Structure 1
Amino acid sequence: MTSHVTRPGPLGRVKWAAMRGLLGSVGRLSEGVRVGYRHGFDSGTMLDYVYENKARGFAGVGWVIDRVFLNAVGWRGIRARRELLVATLDGEVQRRRRRAARQVFVLDVAGGPGRYLQQLIAGLPRGHVRVECRDLAEAGLRQGEVLARQQGLGADVLAYEVGDALDPKPPASGAPDVIVVSGLYELLLDESVIQGSLERLRGMLAPGGVLVFTTQTRHPQLDFIAHVLPNRNGELWEMRCRSVAEVEGWARAAGFGEVESAVERVGLFAVTVARG
């Protein structure tokens, strides 16, 4: 399966234009489709809606469209990625706690509302972990703060900050033990940007720290997404798939000594653990 988008001919352009028109009209009966058009189908707010996985829409037709939308293979892969990511982070926090009985500091540089971070915290004894969640989209951060308050999570446990994942500032509270990059590298077409990010994040880690990041290894709907769905910038959303071997090679080139990956159960995304 190709990892790149196919450029359509004249008939293909007509087909994709018709699908854009259908999704932008009838499709808006679905709450998920409306969220995608409002914030971008690649946004943290969109992913949070996918994570919640509760169909909503205008009357019965909208609900049905939304359920079909949420059941798309890519969104099922996203939810499976979250399960694997949370399990991986939980294992890394527990590993760090066994080595040094102190609170583990986790920094997520592009977490959006951070629903999976709240899931991680909820599964650990209070005081085992402290998380800082960053994103450029303030709407997602504010949404995450509301969700955190509803679960009784204060800023001492989960703090939200505006920040650029590709130009990260060192946290004022010290070097993180674990840095998370989830759902970002899948959106970047320039491989040198990813490689530069891996190098910068390695330099931010505490001694013996770990970077956990996700990548997309394949997707059966690359062409549909690239020709129909707008991203957070209002442009058509083009993605590129990459092999596990390729991204692991980038991590080793960035100076990480121990690198290993696992693919989620749907088979679209990998979660890679890179230790300094």
Structure 2
Amino acid sequence: MPGRPPHRQAASMTRTKGLKKAQWAAMRLLLGTVGRLSEGVRIGYRHGFDSGSMLDHVYVNKAQGSLGIGRVIDRCYLNAVGWRAIRARRELLKDVLRKEISERGGRATVLDVASGPGRYLQDLVAEHPAGALRVECRDLDRAGLSQGERQSAQRGLVGITFAHGDALAPQPPADGAPDVIVVSGLYELLLEDDAIAASVERLRGLLAPGGVLVFTTQTRHPQLEFIANVLPNREGVPWVMKCRPVEQAERWARDAGFAEVASRRESVGLFTVTTARG
């Protein structure tokens, strides 16, 4: 059976692209109007849907909004598969860090180079005796850092500090090399593979002897097209992410000189947490 003539195929593809553009435009309009009744959507438009402030709202997982319907929208928003996976990633990350801290006798120095407010790190500090952990949270998002400072002060936490810093050009901590360096939710936002490989190598050089690098990888996401066409990131441009196989992430760690590399997958199945040591 003969196929379509080339000019008809081209016309069909053009119509499909046009419909897609109209669909994304309608979704952007809906989210930017009615969607703003949701506190999560408001935070996304104010700070970026990839921001630390956004993640903090996702971690709390409490629907908030205006006029009643806003809370309903926010609950639907918070139940999206990506946010559920990020909450599962946080729990896995906390388990991994607890193990690392336990192996060091319950005392460790931790550096998170892209922390946002660092709520999960605050939780870890709260679980240990005062002064047992020294945690430095760094980020380029000053709003997220200020939020973290307020939260930790309200909780009366000791040993956690917040500092402005570039995760891709990290400076050594002033109080000595860290036992654990964390990179959570950053590499998923980087589109250039070479940038991640260089970051892993650079961070290895900051670790104390016997230290461990803990980082996350997004291996798949069913809503990448929606996110890239509808949601703005912290810079106000489309939020484009890149998924990678965990084997590639592990290879970067080994190429950087880490001898022991292992990964675990969170329960929803979109992210892995990798530990690299040696």
TM-score by length of 1: 0.93
Q: Distance in 2 between matches of 1:206 and 1:228?
A: 42
- Note if contact 1:251-1:274 (Cα within 8 Å) is conserved in structure 2: yes
From the CA coordinates, give the structure whose radius of gyration is larger: 2
Q: Is the 8 A contact 2:126 2:157 kept in 1?
A: no
Q: Is 1:138 equivalent to 2:142 in the alignment?
A: yes
Match status 1:28 vs 2:33: no
User: Where do 1:223-242 residues align within 5 Å?
Assistant: 223-242=225-244
Unmatched runs of 5 consecutive residues or more in structure 1: 1-7
Q: What residue in structure 2 maps to residue 5 of structure 1?
A: none
8 Å Cα contact 1:97/1:128 also seen in 2? no
Partner residue in 1 for 2:256:
254
Moved over 4 A (4+): none
Give me the whole-angstrom Cα distance separating, in 1, the residues matched to 2:185 and 2:64: 24
Sequence identity (%): 67
Tell me: higher relative CO, structure 1 or 2? Use CA pairs within 8 A at least 6 residues apart: 1
The equivalent residue for 1:97 is: 105
Deviation for aligned residue 1:85: 0.4
CA distance in 2, matches of 1:49, 1:146: 15
SS of 2:263's partner is strand
Report the aligned-residue RMSD. 1.0
Match of 2:23 in 1: 15
Matched, 1:113 2:121: no
* Offset from partner CA, 1:159-214 (integer Å, 9 cap, x none): 10110000000011110010000110010000000000000000000011000001
> 2:88·2:267 contact (CA, 8 Å) conserved in 1?
yes
Contact 1:178 1:209 in 2 (8 A): yes
Kindly provide the amino acid, as one letter, of the partner of residue 249 in structure 1: R
- TM-score normalised by L of structure 2: 0.93
1:65 is matched with which residue?
73
1:126 is displaced (CA, Å) by: 2.8
Q: Could you tell me how far apart the structure 2 residues matched to 1:121 and 1:171 are?
A: 18
Superposed CA deviations along residues 54-109 of structure 1, whole A, max 9, x for unmatched, are 111111111100000000000000100000001101100111227xxxx3110000
Partner amino acid for 1:68?
Answer: C
Deviation track 1:11-70 (CA, whole Å, cap 9, x = no partner) reads 111111111111001100101000000000000010001001111111111110000000
> What is the aligned length?
263
- Cα deviation, residue 9, structure 1: 1.7
Q: Judge which range, 118-127 or 165-174, deviates more.
A: 118-127
